[in-house]
């Protein structure tokens, strides 16, 4: 277990270092400050690197629908690489289609029981709207705001999502989100050193990955609706944070963006501890027994996830 | 003499008919009584102890003479006497019960071995189906106080949970899981 935990931090850190290092060397050789596909690869590679030591190579198509988020974020690297060649309309269309496809695949098994009919359409609509908003607005803001503010805000948002998943009974999804966070952290650290590097390419894969994992945690684990909504709202908010008088200072931008991400992220983690409806089948199972008293309910003393 | 022979043949025929009718009555289907049926699992924890749990809602039917056993387990009814652990086991790390709410077993072949039944069948957990063999023994049979005829069987199988995609914590929990099925059915 210690090995798995260690690897879920070390492996993504190594993956992030390799990607950023190779991209930075390639950028120097090309004489261009951009990281090419390196920025886009960070979050998906970090998630895969965290997943592999714990569970091996994810299946395609995956057994657990939540794992679609990993594959679709990897596919979004293509978008993150070529996004500069696309028109704004094409980017919005790509973002909308990608997020609808991601949520539809992640929630596809849930359409049969928890999200039927109009409820399912509404959930996909709201979720895809928030994810597309985060994708587009952070991307646009990344082009305007040079420096480490947005990469760090993205890292904090991803980290808060990992924490929400961890307190919601799914170490597997939390581990993948944590892996993405570590790799994004490497990218964000690089942007402290080289503030002229644009990290906009990292946004789409990160949003697809983290949004998909939180959506999976909401449908199949115990992520509360309030936590999911707070994380969903935090994404577009990061792209909207703007105070012109402070924009001149890189450090003020950094503190402001990270502050917003941290505040909303902390609220989402806190909301994970609020009581919500119980969805387990414990009491239901005792249904038709009429013999010698009822079954005792499970207590939750001392269980540490292991 | 000839008359006696005919009479003997008639008796023999009646006896055979009677046996056939009795046999047909015994080859009845039993419906599983969910409140007296237990699906228990046992897994080694950290290599030092054993953790036990159960599924509390099982439906299905069986017919020992026809060699048929069909079981459907509500995966959400998982119970280990610890709510946090129950939620964890129900989640994507283990059974992912919201996506895969049923665990099923359906027999494909039954062989009598002494007083035991070797039941081969398809076990589906988390959407993955594997052929497994259960050795079932009869616990007993008879009328209950309400006049229903009941029979009970019990058997177990050791599974490799990795085969079914329940592969989280390979170093903390053993790959081998002992699954015990104790069914009680009411004859229909």
In this prediction, the residues of chain A whose per-residue pLDDT falls under 50 are 243-246, 277-296
Residue B83 is nearest to which of A171, A221, A298, comparing CB atoms? Answer: A298
Q: How far is B21 from chain A (nearest CA, A)?
A: 35
Query: What ipTM is given for this predicted complex?
Result: 0.74
With an 8 Å Cβ cutoff, is B126 touching chain A? Answer: yes
**Residue A277: C-alpha distances to residues A222, A225, A280 (Å):** 10, 10, 9
Q: Could you give the percent of chain B with pLDDT greater than 90?
A: 66
Q: Which of B44, B92, B161 to mutate to test the interface with A (most CBs of A within 10 A)?
A: B92
Assessment of whether the complete model's pTM goes beyond 0.95: no
Rounded to whole angstroms, the Cα distance separating A157 from A163 reads: 10
What pLDDT is recorded for position B61? 95
Note the pLDDT tens digit of each residue in B39-89: 999 999 998 999 999 999 999 999 988 889 999 999 999 999 988 899 999
Note the pLDDT tens digit of each residue in B99-129: 999 999 999 999 888 888 899 999 999 999 9
User: Taking the CB of residue A60, how many other CB atoms lie within 10 A of it?
Assistant: 9
With an 8 Å Cβ cutoff, is B101 touching chain A? Answer: yes
Q: How far is B13 from chain A (nearest CA, A)?
A: 47
With an 8 Å Cβ cutoff, is A8 touching chain B? Answer: no
Q: How far is B162 from chain A (nearest CA, A)?
A: 10
Side-chain-side CA neighbours of residue B175 (13 Å): 7
Side-chain-side CA neighbours of residue A279 (13 Å): 21
Note the pLDDT tens digit of each residue in A171-225: 889 999 999 999 999 999 998 888 877 788 899 999 999 999 999 999 999 899 9
Note the pLDDT tens digit of each residue in A142-175: 877 777 888 888 999 999 999 999 998 898 899 9
Residues of chain B with C-beta less than 8 angstroms from the C-beta of A278: none
Judge whether residue B12 has pLDDT over 60.
no
User: Closest Cα partner for A175 from A68, A50, A45?
Assistant: A50
- Interchain contact, B91 vs A170, CB within 8 Å: yes
Name the DSSP class of B77: G
What pLDDT is recorded for position B89? 93
């Amino acid at each position: 277990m210690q090995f798995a935990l260690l690897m879920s931090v070390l492996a993504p850190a190594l993956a992030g270092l390799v990607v950023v290092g190779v991209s930075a060397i390639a950028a120097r050789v090309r004489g261009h400050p951009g990281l090419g596909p390196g920025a886009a690869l960070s979050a998906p590679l970090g998630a895969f690197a965290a997943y592999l030591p714990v569970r091996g190579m994810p299946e395609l198509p995956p057994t657990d629908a939540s794992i679609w988020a990993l594959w679709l974020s990897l596919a979004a690297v293509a978008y993150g690489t070529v996004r500069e060649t696309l028109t704004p309309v094409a980017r919005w269309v790509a973002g909308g289609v990608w997020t609808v496809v991601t949520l539809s695949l992640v929630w596809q098994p849930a359409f049969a029981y928890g999200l039927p009919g109009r409820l399912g359409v509404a959930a996909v609509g709201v979720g895809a709207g928030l994810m597309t908003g985060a994708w587009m607005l952070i991307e646009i803001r990344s082009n305007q705001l040079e420096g480490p503010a947005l990469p760090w805000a993205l890292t904090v948002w991803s980290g808060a999502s990992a924490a929400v998943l961890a307190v919601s009974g799914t170490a597997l999804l939390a581990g993948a989100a944590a892996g993405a966070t570590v790799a994004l952290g490497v990218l964000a650290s690089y942007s402290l050193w080289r503030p002229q590097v644009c990290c906009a390419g990292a946004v789409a894969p990160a949003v697809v990955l983290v949004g998909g994992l939180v959506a999976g945690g909401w449908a199949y684990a115990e992520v509360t609706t309030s936590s999911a909504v707070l994380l969903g709202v935090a994404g577009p908010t990061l792209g909207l944070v703007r105070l012109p008088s402070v924009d001149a200072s890189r450090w003020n931008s950094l503190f402001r963006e990270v502050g917003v991400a941290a505040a909303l992220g902390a609220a989402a983690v806190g909301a994970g501890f609020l009581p919500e409806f119980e969805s387990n089948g414990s009491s239901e199972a005792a249904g038709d027994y009429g013999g010698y008293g009822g079954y005792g309910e499970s207590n939750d003393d001392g269980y540490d996830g292991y | 003499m000839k008359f006696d022979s005919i009479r003997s043949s008639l008796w023999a025929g009646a006896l055979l008919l009677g046996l056939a009718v009795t046999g047909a009555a015994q080859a009845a289907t039993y419906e599983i009584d969910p409140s007296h049926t237990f699906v228990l699992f046992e897994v080694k924890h950290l290599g030092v102890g054993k953790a036990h749990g159960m599924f509390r809602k099982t439906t299905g039917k069986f017919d020992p003479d026809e060699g048929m056993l069909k079981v459907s387990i509500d995966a959400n009814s998982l119970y280990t006497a610890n709510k946090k652990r129950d939620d964890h086991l129900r989640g994507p790390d283990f059974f992912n019960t919201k996506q895969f709410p049923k665990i099923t077993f359906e027999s494909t072949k039954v062989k009598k071995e002494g007083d035991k039944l070797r039941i081969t069948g398809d076990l589906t957990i988390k959407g993955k189906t594997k052929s497994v063999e259960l050795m079932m023994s009869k616990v007993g049979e008879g009328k209950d106080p309400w006049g229903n005829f009941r029979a009970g069987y019990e058997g177990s199988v050791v599974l490799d949970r990795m085969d079914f995609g329940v592969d989280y914590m390979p170093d903390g929990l053993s790959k081998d899981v002992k699954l015990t099925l104790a069914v009680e059915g009411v004859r229909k």
